């Protein structure tokens, strides 16, 4: 069916309308963070500040050791992302490209773990990490990522199942070993789904609050999510510091999503196909 110019105008009109609707809260946070206290609590609400108060960000940042929180979040996010990419790609490659005994059963058991709520394993995991002496360290937040995630493995496996086996057979005939086939042929092919997994993991770990709350005790080990929650408890009635730190908190995942959205679409479409 041919799409007329009128239909395109109507579609773009509603797209712009919905974009404004979803972007308005984000814009309101930015504008509020740049106001004075009088402007923030004025009625009727004032949309734009008379003079942008950029000092609100530095004052909020320096009120607590957010530099330490930020570095802890970066360490946890980067290390878990590396762990997920390595472990999930290897496991998914094995399930997709090799035939072995009980392959179907093992894959079903892997998928079954997705049905177990994290709340059920929370106490056993805490007891296990306490036995290892990892409580109040970043290890409980990092090490499990190196054992993979069933959901990410499933996505990669579905993507790899669509690639014909003639590709690695030709590489074997040329003398390539199994590691060379995986690293030099399939890793470049998996660029889109691996980027998708990296983005999903970054968003999940960066915003994780419950995990750090359970395992971390010292303030020097806090992540940004836990530090922001503690900050909100101190500044419960002060809207400007809370808005400023909330904006700083959401900037990294927003930037990651913006730069990787092309690969996100490719990764999802490739896995579904």
Q: Which of 46-50, 87-91, 191-195, 218-222 has the lowest mean pLDDT?
A: 46-50
| CATH number for the domain whose boundaries are 55-272 | 1.10.3720.10
Distance CA 60, CA 243 (A): 9
148, 88 contact by CB (below 8 A): yes
Residue 159 structure tokens: 């993507």
Task: Please give the model's pTM, rounded to 2 decimal places.
Answer: 0.85
pLDDT at position 142: 94
pLDDT band of 223, cuts 50, 70, 90: very high
Residue 219: what pLDDT?
87
Cα separation, 143 vs 145, in Å, equals 5
The pLDDT value given to residue 268: 63
* Domain residue ranges in the chain: 1-53, 55-272
Residue appearing with tokens 């609100």: 56
Please tell me the distance from the alpha carbon of residue 119 to that of residue 227, in angstroms, as a whole number: 22
Q: What pLDDT, on the 0 to 100 scale, is given for residue 236? A: 61
Report residue 56's pLDDT band, with 50, 70 and 90 as the boundaries: confident
Residue of 142 and 171 predicted with greater confidence: 142
81 pLDDT more than 90: yes
pLDDT of the residue at 267: 59
Q: What is the pLDDT of residue 90?
A: 92
Share of the chain above pLDDT 70, in %: 93
pLDDT > 60? residue 199: yes
- Peptide bond preceding 60: is omega within 30 degrees of 0, i.e. cis? no
Contacts of 240 (CB under 8 A, 6+ apart): 32, 33, 35, 36, 37, 40, 53, 56, 60
C-alpha to C-alpha distances, 237 to 77, 231, 241, nearest whole angstrom = 31, 11, 10
Report the length, in residues, of the chain.
Answer: 273
pLDDT at 217 over 90: no
Mean confidence (pLDDT) of the chain: 85
**Separation of CA 33 from chain center:** 25
Which is more confident, 20 or 267? 20
Please work out, in degrees rounded to the nearest 5, the angle formed at the alpha carbon of residue 52 by the alpha carbons of 50 and 56. 130
At 254 the pLDDT is 84
Q: Percent of the chain, pLDDT > 90?
A: 25
What's the farthest any 2 CA atoms get from each other in the chain?
A: 75
Q: What share of the chain is helix, strand, coil (3-state, %, to 5)?
A: 80, 0, 20
pLDDT of amino acid 131 = 93
Which range is least confidently modeled, 51-55, 161-165, 260-264?
Answer: 260-264
For residue 181, what is the DSSP state? Answer: I
Indicate if the pLDDT at residue 139 is higher than 90.
yes
CB 188 within 8 A of CB 213: no
Which has the higher per-residue pLDDT, 179 or 235?
179
Q: Which pLDDT score, from 0 to 100, does residue 272 have?
A: 52
Structure-derived torsion over alpha carbons of residues 151, 154, 159, 164, reported in degrees to the nearest 10: 170
Give the per-residue SS3 of 12-27.
HHHHHHHHHHHHHHHH
CA atoms within 13 A on the CB side of 114: 12
Residue 132: predicted pLDDT: 92
Dihedral sign computed on CA atoms, order 192, 198, 202, 205: positive
Question: Is residue 113 a contact partner of residue 178, using CB atoms and an 8 Å limit?
Answer: no
């Amino acid at each position: 069916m041919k799409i007329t110019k009128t239909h395109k105008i109507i579609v773009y009109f509603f797209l712009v309308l919905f974009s404004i609707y979803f972007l308005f809260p984000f814009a309101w946070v930015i504008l509020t963070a740049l106001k004075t206290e009088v402007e923030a609590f004025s009625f009727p609400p004032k949309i734009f500040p008379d003079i942008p108060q950029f000092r609100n960000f530095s004052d909020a940042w320096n009120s607590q050791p957010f530099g330490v929180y930020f570095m802890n979040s970066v360490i946890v996010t980067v290390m878990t992302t590396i762990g997920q990419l390595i472990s999930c790609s290897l496991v998914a490659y094995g399930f997709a490209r090799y035939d072995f005994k009980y392959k179907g059963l093992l894959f079903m058991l892997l998928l079954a773990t997705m049905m177990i709520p994290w709340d059920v394993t929370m106490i056993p995991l805490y007891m296990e990490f306490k036995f290892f002496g990892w409580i109040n360290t970043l290890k409980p937040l990092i090490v499990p990522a190196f054992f993979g995630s069933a959901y990410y493995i499933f996505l990669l496996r579905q993507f790899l199942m669509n690639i014909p086996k003639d590709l690695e057979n030709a590489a074997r005939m040329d003398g390539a070993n199994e590691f060379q086939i995986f690293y030099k042929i399939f890793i470049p092919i998996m660029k889109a789904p691996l980027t998708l997994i990296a983005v999903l993991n970054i968003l999940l770990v960066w915003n994780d609050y419950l995990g750090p709350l359970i395992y971390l005790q010292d303030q020097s080990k806090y992540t940004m999510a836990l530090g922001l929650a503690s900050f909100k408890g101190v500044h419960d009635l002060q809207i400007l510091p809370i808005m400023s730190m909330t904006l700083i908190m959401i900037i990294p995942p927003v930037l990651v999503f913006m730069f990787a959205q092309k690969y996100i679409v490719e990764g999802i479409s490739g896995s579904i196909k």
